[in-house]
Each structure stands twice: as C-alpha cells, then as structure tokens.
C-alpha cells in the first residue's frame, strides 16, 4: 500500500518519461544537439596599437597629452596581456617608445630656455 501511494503521488510527466524510449532513456531523441567547439577567435589587443599611434603623435606633434595616453595604453596592455601571449620584445619596444615620447615632449621645452640649459650643464 505504501508503494502504491508513492507512485500515485508522482507528477504525470515523471511517470511518462520513464517509458519515453524503448531502452529506458528519458531524453528526447529529437532534442539532442551535439556540442561543436567554436573556432578560436583572433584576440586582438588594441592597446599596443593605440600606444604606438599615440607615441608617434607625441614624438612628431610634441603634444604632452599623447605622451600620457601612450603610457596609459602601455600599462593597460601590460595588465591585459595573457601569459601565453607574452611578447617581451613588443613590450620593450613600447616602453622605449613611451620614454622617447616623454623625452621629445619635455626636452623640446627645456631647450627653449638656453639660460636654464647652461645653468644645468655648468653645475
């Protein structure tokens, strides 16, 4: 009697799922979809490209904002870099470009004042 009460207490879909397929598999054959892996998408990091552009703008146009944007993009690129994509030569090149951008922006203003340069060199 107890077993019969338990079977009658089950909801109707659970009772019909047990006999969905002849081998007792409750899954619906027409709903099964095979897993297909996606192709590896190219993960392009835009920060090194922006750092390169901003660095050249800072060097050639002598605008300090572009030098600061360069260093911001270099740090963002370094922070978002995956270990498997570690490119030390590229990061070194971006670091040198950042240093050159800051030097070109700041030394141009330093040489505008020859008296200050003479005082610094005659120390």
Burial string for 95-107 (b: 16+ CB within 10 Å, else e) reads: eebbebbbebbee
Residue 18 has pLDDT above 50, yes or no: no
Contacts with 28 (C-beta within 8 Å, 6 or more apart), sequence order: 20
Instruction: Please give the backbone phi and psi of residue 93, each rounded to the nearest 5 degrees, phi first.
Output: -65, -40
The owner of tokens 């870099």 is: 81
| Model confidence, pTM | 0.54
- For residue 84, the 8-state DSSP code is G
Task: Tell me the domain boundaries of the chain.
Answer: 46-121
The tens digit of pLDDT for each residue in 67-78 reads 999 999 999 988
Looking at per-residue confidence, does 91 or 83 come out higher?
91
């Amino acid at each position: 009697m107890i077993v019969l009460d338990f079977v009658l207490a089950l909801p109707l879909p659970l009772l019909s799922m047990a006999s969905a397929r002849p081998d007792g598999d409750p899954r619906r054959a027409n709903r099964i979809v095979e897993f297909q892996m996606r192709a590896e998408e190219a993960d392009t990091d835009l920060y090194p490209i922006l750092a390169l552009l901003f660095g050249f703008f800072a060097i050639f146009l002598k605008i300090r904002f572009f030098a600061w944007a360069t260093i911001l993009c270099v740090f963002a690129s370094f922070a978002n870099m995956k270990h498997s994509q570690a490119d030390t030569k590229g990061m070194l090149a971006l670091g040198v470009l950042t240093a050159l951008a800051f030097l070109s922006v700041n030394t141009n203003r330093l040489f505008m004042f020859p008296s200050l340069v003479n005082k610094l060199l005659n120390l």
